Amino acid sequence: MTAAVTSENPPPLEIHDLTVAYYKKPVLYGIDVTVPAGKLVGIIGPNGAGKSTLIKAAMGLLPASSGWVKIFGEPFHKACGRVGYVPQRESVDWDFPVNVMDVVLMGRYGRLGLFRRPTAADRDVARACLDKVKMLPFASRQIGNLSGGQQQRVFLARALAQESDLYFMDEPFSGVDAATESAIVVLLQELKDRGKTLLVVHHDLATAREYFDTLLLLNMRLVAFGPTAEVFTHEILQKTYGGRLTILSEVAEVVGRQP
């Protein structure tokens, strides 16, 4: 996977020997990976494998104990304008006193920088992004009055409004209805086709193979990273999920269904 990287065209994400610890207890060990441009990457692994931790550490939201991360060849704080982020839906308070439009406009804040307010042009972008996820009719709705799937669409619209080149998404499929799920899949594919790079934390093995062209299998250490067809094998999945029997039988079933 480590295709020759020239200095003019650095990879969207390069992680070297990254170790992250909570209370001195490591949750990620020596992660080494380079993600080339234009890939739709699914990050999969068992609970507690450090999937969310990996993307948070990549953006500097969590301090690394060792190692480094480069985004388009630069440290995160210099490249943050090119990075979009969709946090877990549960990570925010949906009773917060803002409406759908306010939330999507937050995606423009990074471009505005300090002191400047969103302009009419920013509102146009926000409206277009809401339209893309079919949430424009809800623009003035208070965010607490949305269903789980609608909330996730708002978060996606906000990420689209960031107009980034590299996206980190933390479980965007969790707790959404089937219609939203397929709408998100189409959207991710579209972003990929426009040359964007996406890293998506995902916990449903059954759909992982179908949704992503590249997989990053994680269990505190990097188990495998590569094209889905190559790494979605019984052996690698077993290595990733260890001795968890219920999951293993699930894995066997999923792999068994392979054509």
Nearer to other proteins, 141 or 234 (CB): 141
Query: 3-class secondary structure for 85-151?
Result: EECCHHHCCCCCCCEHHHHHHHHHHHHHCCCCCCCHHHHHHHHHHHHHCCCHHHCCCEHHHCCHHHH
Dihedral pair phi/psi, residue 240, rounded to 5°? -70, -45
Residue 255 sits in the site that holds other proteins (CB under 8 A): no
Nearer to other proteins, 81 or 227 (CB): 81
Residue 59 sits in the site that holds other proteins (CB under 8 A): yes
Site string (63-92) toward other proteins, x via CB under 8 A: --------------x--xx-x-x-x-xxxx
Nearer to other proteins, 100 or 218 (CB): 100
Residue 151 sits in the site that holds other proteins (CB under 8 A): yes
Amino acid at 63: P
Specify the stretch interacting with other proteins by CB under 8 A; choose among 30-38, 39-47, 93-101, 200-208.
93-101
Residue 47 corresponds to which tokens in the numbers above?
A: 């609970």
Which 15-54 positions form the footprint of other proteins (CB under 8 A)? none
CB of 130 to other proteins, least distance (A): 17
Alpha-carbon 240 to chain mean position = 19
Query: 3-class secondary structure for 46-81?
Result: CCCCCHHHHHHHHCCCCCCCEEEEEECCECHHHHHH
Dihedral pair phi/psi, residue 18, rounded to 5°? -80, 125
Nearer to other proteins, 101 or 205 (CB): 101
Nearer to other proteins, 59 or 255 (CB): 59
Q: List Cβ neighbours of 128 (8 Å cut-off, separation of 6 or more).
A: none
| Continuous segment of H or E residues that includes residue 258 | none
CB of 46 to other proteins, least distance (A): 23
Interface residues with other proteins (CB under 8 A) are: 56, 59-61, 77, 80-81, 83, 85, 87, 89-99, 102-103, 106, 109-110, 112, 114-115, 117-118, 142, 144-148, 151, 158, 162, 168, 175
